[in-house]
């Protein structure tokens, strides 16, 4: 599998349907995992990718980014499982559960704000 951007993050990795449970759902019990569902033919997917990498890099390992190329192998099953309606779709997982999602391309600033709001919500959940 290849990253769909020239800007790679050391905190990003490719994942497929076979590795999704251990590498995303189980791993999200240790740290939040952001999942980028993308397709090679999708221009907004290519626009979003560097912004996701940039923001994940800012977390310096406290957050991981899993990239699912939905047209590769049987990965479209994941799109169906999570009822994705378009690409790109980004879903944040914590403790094995979905904590938020957005679709479409966003700027680095917008991704940063969305993620900060959802991680703050999770911190509040943990305190309660």
Catalytic residues: 42, 45
Print the SS3 string covering the chain: CCCCCCCCCCCEEECCCCCHHHHHHHHHHCCCEEEEEECCCCHHHHHHHHHHHHHHHHCCCCCEEEEEECCCCCCHHHHHHCCCCCCCEEEEEECCEEEEEEECCCCHHHHHHHHHHHHHHHHHHHHC
């Amino acid at each position: 599998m290849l990253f769909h951007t020239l800007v790679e993050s050391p905190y990003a990795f490719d994942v497929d349907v076979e590795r999704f449970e251990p590498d995303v759902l189980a791993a999200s019990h240790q740290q939040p995992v952001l999942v980028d569902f993308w397709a090679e033919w999708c221009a907004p997917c290519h626009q979003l990718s560097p912004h996701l990498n940039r923001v994940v890099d800012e977390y310096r390992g406290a957050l991981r980014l899993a990239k699912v190329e939905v047209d590769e192998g049987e990965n479209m099953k994941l799109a169906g499982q999570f009822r994705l309606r378009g690409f790109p779709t980004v879903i944040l997982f914590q403790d094995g559960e979905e904590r938020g999602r957005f679709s479409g391309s966003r700027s680095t600033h917008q991704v940063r704000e969305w993620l900060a709001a959802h991680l703050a919500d999770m911190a509040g959940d943990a305190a309660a």
